[in-house]
């Protein structure tokens, strides 16, 4: 929640409750240990927390959005669903094409990178189940922190600049 200034932006921005803990976790992970306290997580605990986390996330999203879903779609909300699909699919197709054709990346890594760039845990869970490999998770983890930080900061900067 510590505000910091960016040159050219009239008001300070904050990483908030999403970006702040992410930065602290990255720093603690890099340090590995402080005195007797180790920041290592066994792989079995990692898998368990990953599954519990994705289950709770999907349950919360479903409970929150399912209440008026049909009524919203019937009242013209389908247009927004189409806009959302276009806004989601076009960048994914372009990034996927560039990653595969130009950068010669394998499909499994691309799945992890694309799900991380969208901060989309259900896509990561699907890729992990389909590949039976940790490669999507590793690719996801490589882009997710930067995506989250940029998402938090860009939203605040856009609000400051356009309001």
Residues 82-101 pLDDT 10s: 999 999 999 999 999 999 99
Domain membership of residue 90 (yes or no) is yes
Domain membership of residue 2 (yes or no) is no
Domain membership of residue 11 (yes or no) is no
- Predicted confidence (pLDDT) at residue 159 exceeds the cutoff of 90: no
Best CA proximity match to 1, nearest among 153, 29, 158, 13: 13
What is the model's pLDDT at position 111? Answer: 93
How many domains does the chain contain in total?
A: 1
Domain membership of residue 7 (yes or no) is no
Distance of CA 75 to the CA centre of its chain: 30
- Predicted confidence (pLDDT) at residue 163 exceeds the cutoff of 80: no
Residues 3-55 pLDDT 10s: 878 787 777 878 777 777 878 888 888 888 888 988 888 878 877 887 788 78
Domain membership of residue 8 (yes or no) is no
Q: What residue numbers bound the domain in which 121 lies?
A: 16-162
Domain membership of residue 5 (yes or no) is no
The more confidently predicted of residues 56 and 113 is 113
Best CA proximity match to 69, nearest among 60, 78, 59: 78
């Amino acid at each position: 929640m510590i505000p910091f200034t960016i040159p050219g932006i009239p008001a300070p921005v904050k990483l908030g409750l999403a970006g702040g803990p992410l930065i602290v976790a990255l720093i603690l992970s890099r340090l590995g240990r402080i005195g007797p306290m180790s920041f290592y997580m066994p792989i079995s605990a990692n898998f368990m927390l990953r599954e519990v986390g994705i289950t709770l996330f999907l349950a919360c999203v479903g409970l929150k959005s399912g209440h008026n879903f049909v009524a919203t779609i019937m009242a013209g909300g389908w247009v927004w669903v189409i806009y959302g699909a276009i806004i989601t699919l076009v960048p994914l197709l372009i990034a996927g094409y560039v990653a595969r054709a130009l950068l010669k990346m394998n499909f499994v890594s691309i799945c992890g990178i694309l799900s991380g760039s969208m901060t989309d845990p259900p896509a990561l869970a699907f890729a992990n189940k389909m590949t039976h490999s940790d490669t999507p998770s590793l690719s996801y983890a490589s882009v997710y922190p930067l995506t989250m930080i940029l998402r938090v900061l860009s939203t605040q900067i856009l609000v400051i600049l356009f309001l």
